[in-house]
Amino acid sequence: MNHHRRLFRHRFQISRCFSSPSLSFDPPPAILQRRVVVTGLGMVTPLGCGVETTWRRLIDGRCGIRALTPGDLKMEGFDKETTLHTFEQLVSKVAAIVPSGTDEGEFNEEIWLRSKDHRSIARFIAYALCSSEEALRDANWMPSDLEKKERTGVSIGGGTGSISDILDAAQMICEKRLRRLSPFFIPRILINMAAGHVSMKYGFKVPNHAAVTACATGAHSIGDAARMIQFGDSDVMVAGGTESSIDALSIAGFCRSRALTTKYNSLPKESSRPFDCDRDGFVIGEGSGIMVLEELEHARDRGAKIYAEVRGYGMSGDAHHITQPHTDGRGAILAMTRALGQSGIHPNQVDYVNAHATSTPLGDAIEASAIESMFSDHATSGTLALSSTKGATGHLLGAAGAVEAIFAVLAIHHGIAPPTLNLENPDPIFHDGFKPLSAPMKMPIRAALSNSFGFGGTNASLLFACPP
């Protein structure tokens, strides 16, 4: 007992010593906020594999949406009758699928998925690896020495991981074949493994990060990466989002939530129609978008090409409903306000907005109202260019924010605001000069905003500006 009393008295004296005001620490060192620029881009989208192919087809008014087939459901472990029955039960039969093959602009599965070294790599990871390779080559950043690798990190998130692998594993349980389960099952479904594989392939050691915020994932991943550079955690970040959601269970789940379009099964290229009166839901899509972000002086010192500067990153929460934004659009307004507030850019200086607008009746109207409220006369005068590129790509879920952020950067780089496909009868909420673009517009773009909103009421806005 005396031993325990002495031990307690000793610990109490130590705690008093360390809590003494006279021994408190000095404030932490001040962190100078560093400027962040975009030096590399990579994409895998339903419009094609590669930035140049995707951008050209987007501006040309091409659409990456097609009719769904039973083979797209990835039900190889099931008999034909079950697969066909599942296909028939899906009320939405259109999808935005990455074109695969060996031709130019196609995703080559033999390179990224089929070798023995890739048994632990699911399709969403392969898309991230492919687009990261393009972005790093574009940035001319392939460091070989340890010091540079220890100043380079990865921030790549996803929305759902590999649902098709989970479906296959469940089938094994039903058929009492669990001993046949791949030892790579868990590494194939973990969302952070996209960032992990990119980190391992190139030896990038700080940080290794993966955001998972539904359809805002890509934007949050880029914004988080920019913050990591600003605060000195790294000098270079490989950042973006990836998704492979074209499978039976994912499509069935979104069908049951009544989120997907059902009116245009026979007209797939007309099915995604953001801001149009005849919209009835989004088109499920897949792909990946990756940026190389870099501290400004680091990029200048090595003579890197600079596409744009990351000027603002705004986040908010609707705190309202699991799938629907509040009708006042306050969450979107908060995210945009915070992105602009930290940028030093006036709302009237923003030339282009890439809207999240997914082609849902409620969401598109609320976002349009929020944008008008945010930009006021600048929007209604017609000087603000606005579009949703999901008419061409469908909704890429966890990759959407990253792909659309790249579109915003390319709009600045090329001086072209991309169009909104299938905008035939704009929502009545639009008036005067406030109307989405239905055709590409050549114009000087000094600053561009990209919005991303996700289930659970999570919102992100990224603001990019022309190179310093």
Give catalytic residues, as residue numbers.
Answer: 215, 356, 395
Give the residues across from 276 on adjacent strands.
426
Main-chain phi, psi angles of 175, to 5 degrees? -95, 10
Task: Kindly report the length of the chain.
Answer: 468
First to last CA, the chain: 70
Handedness of CA 387, 392, 398, 402 (dihedral sign): negative
Residue type, 129: L
Question: Distance between CA atoms of 246 and 360, rounded to whole angstroms?
Answer: 19
Long-range contacts made by residues 139-146, C-beta under 8 angstroms, separation at least 24?
Answer: 139/39, 139/40, 139/292, 139/294, 139/304, 139/305, 140/40, 140/304, 140/305, 141/39, 141/40, 141/236, 141/292, 141/294, 141/304, 142/202
Q: Look at strands 287-295 and 352-354 and give their pairing.
A: unpaired
Give the residues across from 158 on adjacent strands.
242
Question: Distance between CA atoms of 276 and 266, rounded to whole angstroms?
Answer: 18
- Displacement of CA 298 from its chain's centroid (Å): 25
Of the candidates 362, 363, 339, 361, the one whose C-alpha atom is nearest the C-alpha of residue 353 is 339
Do residues 366 and 336 make contact, with C-beta atoms less than 8 angstroms apart?
no
